[in-house]
A and B are shown apart, each in its own frame.
Chain A
Amino acid sequence: MANGQTEQMNALTEKLRLRLDEDQLTNCMRCGFCLPACPTFSETGLEAESPRGRIALMKAVTDGIMVPDQAFEDQMNHCLGCRACEPACPAGVQYGQLIEQARDAIEDHKEHKTWVKVTRKAAFKTVFPHQKRMKWVGRGLKFYQKSGLRNVAHATGAMKLFPKHMRDMEKILPDATGQGVVEQIGERHPAKGEKIATVALFRGCIMDVLFTETNIHTVDLLTAAGFEVVIPRDQNCCGALHAHSGEAEGARDLARRNIKIFKEAGVDYIVSNAGGCGALLIEYDHLLHEDPQWRDDAVWFAKRVVDISDLLVRAGRRLDFSQDNTPGDAEPVRITYQDSCHLRNVMRSADAPRKLMRQVEGAQFIEMKNADRCCGSAGIYNITQPEMAGQILDHKMEHVEATGASYLLTSNPGCLLQMKHGIEEQGLSGQMKAVHIVDFLHERMKK
């Protein structure tokens, strides 16, 4: 090995030693209870592809048994970050934090190729942190979709210049908008009937560009259930994509800005309708625990974060889901649900969405086998690790099809896009639709 390379690796070792939480590494007692919960272990059967294996690799680096090579970096990035291992762990190891610390050290250390650097900078520093700029993206995307440019791109084969998995994704993207939820319906919405509490809606950056309707429907459900809703205009991206991609400082910066804005709004709850965002919001206290200036406010914030389903079930007035769009004597419509990993494993909310689905009249909820397993979307995993993501999706779609459901519901935009992609790819579009649970409930709510 060339000397330069060795030095590079030693520098990474040092970075990992500084970043990785030694207590968490020691807390893993290697019982192996996480293995059956891990999607990449299930797919490969390889110990290195399991949470226990990855923690052992991290520990081996900090113990000086192993030098972090390219295979080590790849292995850290191969993890979906679904965190299904955490509820399975008897010792309560915070695996999610460990994997993000490892990725952060790797990212910090890495010399990216120029084009990757430019793209990462554009995404993580220039676009995502600024909701206004996200809207430009929305408008650009909308222009592309509506102006006929999309047809030109498809007809001329220009899309073929992109890798297959990106082409597939482009096909299922919903119509984007440059007008977010605040622009469309305003900032403040009184409760219908007696007010139970005041809540702030966390609109999300991608949610608000691609799924603005869902945000509007979220407000409708909340006000109908007795909540006054405010949507702070200046809120930002939650920082999840940053945190999961080894850009911890960027994530912390966004967290501080969001905490400030929501604190000023003075609300009882901060409601998210995207499991991926909610899971990071609820961990702002962890993210900022070393920041004395922000620590207490971060705890204040994290305590108030709740998913829409959870809040409706826990504190809301029971909604009337008797809006039946089907003819009287028709069979009940079959619905099924794909858990958002972060909603289930981090926000620990698995029962609430199921309870709501069971309340819908004229619908029959079918529990899907392995619904608690990651669908392979995992943030931007389906873009960075298309092969493993594809393998996981194929297995997922077998279970989806077996339910015979007409609606496949989920609670996170990434999962929703992945499910739409799966349905399209398996040629099931004629019989089944992937829909955000909020949109389905809204459609069935008696208005």
Chain B
Amino acid sequence: MLQEEVRRELISILGSEHFKDDPQSLVTHSYDGTPMLQSLPDAVVYPSSTEQVSQIMKVLSRHKIPVVGRGSGTNLCGGTVPVQGGVVMVMHRMNQILEIDLENLTATVQPGLNTKQFSTHVESLGLFYPPDPSSMSISTIGGNIAECSGGLRGLKYGTTKDYVIGLEAVLANGDIIRTGGKLMKDVAGYDLTKLLVGSEGTLAIITEATLKLVPPPRYKKTMLAMYKDLYGAARTVSKIIENRIIPATLEILDNATIRVVDDFAKLGLPLDMEAILIIEQDGDEEAVERDIAIITEVCKSEKADQVSIAASQEEADKLLTARRSAFTALARLRPTTILEDATVPRSKIADMVIEINRIAKKHQVQISTFGHAGDGNLHPTATTDARNKEEIERVDEAFEEIFEAAIRLGGTITGEHGVGMVKSPFLEWKVGPAGMEVMKAIKSSFDPHNLLNPGKVFAKETRKRVVIQRG
């Protein structure tokens, strides 16, 4: 509960309708999309302008009260769980498209804007905003920026960071900064825009963003290839790239996922396949047809058991069903679904999938893997039950080993979900002690009193890394 004085000050800025601290509001802002995390805030505020955000931050920093910025709360790293209480700042009222600049091909938007709505609007103008996180129908642009969301198109088109070229943000002390602009080139000082993208609400509250738009592809083709040999699938991925082809999507499902998906969607998939690749290419018709022909040859040369190319959008949708149902099928298997995003260089995909399978077997937990093979971003997904403490411990141990394996293979603990609370004990494994010191120094120069999303990114203690020596 906030002190009466703070409540009064916040209400005078926001009006009583947009300040809430009743039990219902607190409970419904105590969680996000991350399993097994919950912590109640002291209040929830709904600002409507940058000016209000600035005034709120001035009050909160004067009283040293933590603040957590929140879009729709769909992240998977505990990024918006108010673990130290304080105020949750919901950005939904700041949801306008401020400008679409057709001369510069940019959009200027507020952070609470829904990603899907934005993407649909942009497409109606004959333009394209490629980042497509799976949660885009509910996520906000602000949340995507805070977490640097990826998606299926990451391989060819990049992720959120590649499309944010300017920001307005409010610092912990209430000061407003503007970074970048409608500029494709800008080297005036440190790149604060890129620094804020993916900073998980720990450096500033983002209040406006300028986004880069691109012309949309004119033509698209979808295909699917099945393999009895995981390495054949993995080599296909590398070979496609070696052939100087960057597909728009290049997804993989492992055997465990194939079994679950088939059982759920009754697709009649052959269950003896070790991997399925789903490949899409877009661009000009001629180039797409040429690429698909080459990819088909690559698949065959790597002994794909079956290769299907969609002749129509309807057929393409059918081929995509397996990938689209992966999450749903896994989520229905057991009550709790823990979806991680360990990422490796794409040449190491097969090694990583085999490591994951070995680790799952060792700890006797159920982990299925699917994900973005083209950019090495895998989603090992544990299906378990939060009520079974002993099993959850084994899942935790397994994931710890999976993170370790990813780093050993030259990868990272998180490709697109963010560090948040879930992966903070492992961050040092990736960035090293010196890296941690630099990050901490950056954090304290932005937010000296540690009020912005405290308890995230930096763990109290780094997990001791046990490097497994094998072979």
Contact = CB atoms under 8 A, between A and B. Distances in A.
A binds B: yes
Q: Please give me the 7 A-B residue pairs with the lowest Cβ-Cβ distance, nearest first.
A: A90-B328, A53-B28, A47-B28, A91-B331, A26-B335, A90-B331, A48-B28
22 contacts: A23-B335, A26-B386, A29-B35, A30-B32, A31-B74, A31-B331, A32-B74, A32-B135, A32-B138, A33-B135, A45-B93, A47-B29, A47-B73, A48-B27, A50-B28, A57-B27, A66-B23, A69-B23, A75-B24, A90-B331, A90-B332, A92-B332
Contacts of B337: 29, 91
A48 B74 contact: no
A140 interface: no
A53 B90 CA distance: 14
Contacts of B386: 26
B92 interface: yes
Nearest to B23: A66
B336 interface: yes
A56 B33 CA distance: 12
B397 interface: no
B119 interface: no
A27 interface: yes
Contacts of A29: 33, 35, 331, 336-337
Nearest to A67: B23
Given A69-B23, A75-B24, A32 B73 contact: yes
Nearest to B327: A90
Given A29-B33, A66-B24, 4 more contacts: A53-B28, A66-B23, A66-B27, A91-B332
A69 B23 CA distance: 9
A33 B137 contact: yes
Interface in A26-52: 26-27, 29-33, 35-36, 45-48, 50
Nearest to A88: B137
Interface string A10-31: 0000000000000100110111
B22, B34, B38, B138 interface centre (most CB from chain A within 10 Å): B138
Interface secondary structure of B, over-half rule:
loop
B138 A60 contact: no
Nearest to A69: B23
A306 to B, nearest CB: 21
Nearest to B264: A92
B24 A57 contact: yes
A71 B26 CA distance: 13
Nearest to A60: B27
B227 interface: no
Contacts of B138: 32-33, 35-36
A56 B28 contact: yes
B27 A65 contact: yes
A71 B21 CA distance: 12
Contacts of B114: 36
Nearest to A29: B337
Interface in B45-72: 72
A31 B385 CA distance: 16
Contacts of A35: 72, 138
A33 B31 CA distance: 14
Contacts of A26: 335-336, 385-387
B452 interface: no
A71 B327 CA distance: 34
A143 interface: no
Q: Which of B22, B35, B335 has the most C-beta atoms of chain A within 10 angstroms of its own C-beta?
A: B335
Contacts of A46: 25, 28
A72 interface: yes
B40 interface: yes
Interface in B73-89: 73-74
B16 to A, nearest CB: 15
A57 B30 CA distance: 11
A71 B24 contact: yes
Contacts of B93: 45
A1 to B, nearest CB: 12
B92 A45 contact: yes
B222 to A, nearest CB: 22
A33 B22 CA distance: 25
A173 to B, nearest CB: 36
Contacts of B33: 29-32
B259 to A, nearest CB: 18
A75 B24 CA distance: 9
B151 to A, nearest CB: 15
Given A26-B386, A71-B24, A75-B24, A56 B335 contact: no
Interface string A49-92: 01001001100100001110101100100000000000000111
A413 B333 CA distance: 38
Nearest to B38: A65
Contacts of A50: 28
Contacts of A31: 33, 74, 135, 331
B32 A72 contact: no
Which of A31, A36, A91 gathers the greatest number of chain B CB atoms within 10 Å? A31
Contacts of B34: 30
B160 to A, nearest CB: 18
Given A26-B335, A90-B327, A48 B24 contact: yes
A226 to B, nearest CB: 30
A91 B381 CA distance: 14
Interface in B386-405: 386-387
Contacts of A48: 24-25, 27-28
A71 B22 contact: yes
Contacts of B29: 47
Contacts of A65: 27, 30, 38, 40
Contacts of B328: 90-92
A92 B329 CA distance: 9
Interface string A271-307: 0000000000000000000000000000000000000
B22 to A, nearest CB: 6
A45 B17 CA distance: 13
A50 B90 CA distance: 15
Nearest to A74: B24
